[in-house]
Amino acid sequence: MAVGVLLWLLLAKGFVLETVIAVTFSSRIIHRFSDEAKVHLRNNGGENVQSWPKRGSSEYFRLLLNSDLTRQKMKLGSQDQSFYPSEGSKTLSFGNDFVWLHYTWIDIGTPNVSFLVALDTGSDMFWVPCDCIECAPLSAAFYNALDRDLNQYSPSLSSSSRHLPCGHQLCNQNSNCKGFKDRCPYIKEYTSDNTSSSGFLIEDKLHLASNNATKNSIQASVILGCGRKQSGYFLEGAAPNGMLGLGPGSISVPALLAKAGLIRNSISICLNEKGSGRILFGDQGHATQRRSTPFLLDDGELLNYFVGVERFCVGSFCYKETEFKAFIDTGTSFTYLPKGVYETVVAEFEKQVHATRITSQIQSDFNCCYNASSRESNNFPPMKFTFSKNQSFIIQNPFISMDQEDTTICLAVVQSDDELITIGQNFLMGYDMVFDRENLRFGWFRSNCQDSMGESANFTSPSIGGSPDSIPSNQQQRVPNNTRSVPPAIAGKTSPKPSAAKPGLNSWHLLNSLSLICLLLFW
């Protein structure tokens, strides 16, 4: 009997051990500078392993120390740091010459090359003209605002560039790939007619400077589009040197900087009435200085910068609507209102204006125009949005001048084809805006955009002559007689999804995830 019990216990113990073993997983840890790591990265199109230091050398230990310091900075540095492009935080608008969008200079690659990119909170993709098949003219002779040529990017000329493989989790064009190691293509289509950019995705260095007391600089890895072919308005003056998508998608530059631990997941953009401003990555502003309203989420996720609209007021009259939402979009030049709201606002504006309404002589989508000077427009009724929780957003610059003499003033709103309000750049001027993706809030406060730039900002443009003060300082935007009066809405103002879709969990991504388990020290 005792022998039987003993055998039963042994069998039970074996069964338990077998069961434990059956559900136990193991993983090998490989040192980032080991021979196995070299083989893995060489086979998967990774970094240049030939430059790795010899194990045990002083260079070997120096790199390990730098890696530790970088990780420590990732944990602590993002708490109080914000960054701006190394050329300076200054943003500029060149009016109709560059389709009314705001631009900033950024440097990418090794050696660094400067690009004048448009700022677009309505999309996620960052792209520049690259090894061009069909791109906008880059010669200064094509643009009134430039005194020297714009640059073209070429991955082969940057020692820090590498093609993003199709197996990467941020590659959204797997259906056009034949294998893991193929170059990841991209096609970004915008809502403006036949306007798009296409090419391949590249990983390279973005040069940034710190806005804090240390004034240190960094080179951050970002993903950009090698825009080999553009179409539509991109060939006619809109973003001829590239587009910097600042949306909440995982491929956008702010998202990549935040994921690397370099900044808080937030950006601030300030646009003043003189056509200039500034941008800061990682800036959450001061909660005591600003008003704020929550972003509207889609199934619990932040897909676009939507906010709820409760009222749109003209003078003392308020159009009340609790179900409208507004898209905060710096990539749209003017403001779009749904048909019902547009007709009501224009009719109410007409009642309160003591000026002669006229039809503009210039082909235009602006229908609410008056014979009045710039000074007389100051007597027009004030306008404002009321967002959720009764947060008022007063519109500082609702007009546009249709001639050089400022005698024809138009209300710069356009009737939309959908039920979405799009608040474009003209209504955003005069505010320091915080797109706080970490706390899912949009914040704003009145600013001339000079109070938060600091002495560290470099305002000298590497490619544009003249002083920033040479930009017209009149409060109204002006449309020249010899150009089109209404530029397109470049960003996807009606798209319910961001430009970079979330990666799906297909077999390639699953294999990549499993391989990362074995490379814990590779980051």
So where are the chain's domains?
83-281, 291-446
Rounded Cα gap, residues 257 and 221, in angstroms: 8
**Is 210 in contact with 456 (CB distance < 8 Å)?**
yes
Decide the pairing of beta strands 317-328 and 421-423. Answer: parallel
Whether the per-residue pLDDT at 274 is higher than 50: the answer is yes
Decide if 182 is catalytic. no
Q: How many CA atoms lie within 13 A of 391 on its CB side?
A: 16
Query: What does the pLDDT read at residue 77?
Result: 44
Query: What does the pLDDT read at residue 506?
Result: 34
Q: What is the 3-state secondary structure (H, E, C) of 243-282?
A: EEECCCCCCCHHHHHHHCCCCCCEEEEEECCCCEEEEEEC
Query: What does the pLDDT read at residue 465?
Result: 32
pTM comes to: 0.74
Burial class (CB in 10 A: 0-12, 13-18, 19+), 300: exposed
Of residues 332 and 73, more confidence is placed in: 332
Q: What secondary structure letter does DSSP report for 48? A: -
Query: What does the pLDDT read at residue 359?
Result: 73
Rounded Cα gap, residues 422 and 331, in angstroms: 10
Decide if 107 is catalytic. no
Structure tokens at 410: 């138009």
**pLDDT tens-digit readout, 186-210:** 999 998 778 999 999 999 999 999 8
**pLDDT tens-digit readout, 19-57:** 444 444 444 556 666 666 666 656 655 555 556 676 766
Three-state secondary structure call for residue 216: coil
Structure tokens at 38: 């070299």
Query: What does the pLDDT read at residue 362?
Result: 60
Query: What does the pLDDT read at residue 49?
Result: 54
Categorize the per-residue pLDDT at 175 as very low, low, confident or very high, splitting at 50, 70 and 90. low
Query: What does the pLDDT read at residue 155?
Result: 97
CATH for 83-281, among 2.40.70.10, 2.40.30.20, 3.40.50.800, 1.10.3720.10? 2.40.70.10
The residue among 185, 196, 204, 200 whose CA lies nearest residue 136 is 196
Mean pLDDT of 73-84: 61
Q: What secondary structure letter does DSSP report for 111? A: T
Given 182, 329, 432, 436, which residue is catalytic? 329
Given 120, 204, 283, 432, which residue is catalytic? 120
Query: What does the pLDDT read at residue 165?
Result: 93
Rounded Cα gap, residues 299 and 296, in angstroms: 10
CA angle at residue 204 from 203 to 206, to 5 degrees? 130
Whether the per-residue pLDDT at 326 is higher than 90: the answer is yes
Query: What does the pLDDT read at residue 268?
Result: 96
Query: What does the pLDDT read at residue 322?
Result: 60
Q: State the CB neighbour count (10 A cutoff) for residue 417.
A: 11
Rg (CA), the chain: 27
Rounded Cα gap, residues 276 and 94, in angstroms: 9
Whether the per-residue pLDDT at 454 is higher than 80: the answer is no
Whether the per-residue pLDDT at 384 is higher than 80: the answer is yes
Of residues 237 and 467, more confidence is placed in: 237
Query: What does the pLDDT read at residue 513?
Result: 34
Categorize the per-residue pLDDT at 520 as very low, low, confident or very high, splitting at 50, 70 and 90. very low
Highest mean pLDDT among 30-39, 52-61, 153-162, 324-333: 153-162
**pLDDT tens-digit readout, 62-72:** 666 555 544 44
Q: Domain 291-446 - what CATH class?
A: mainly beta
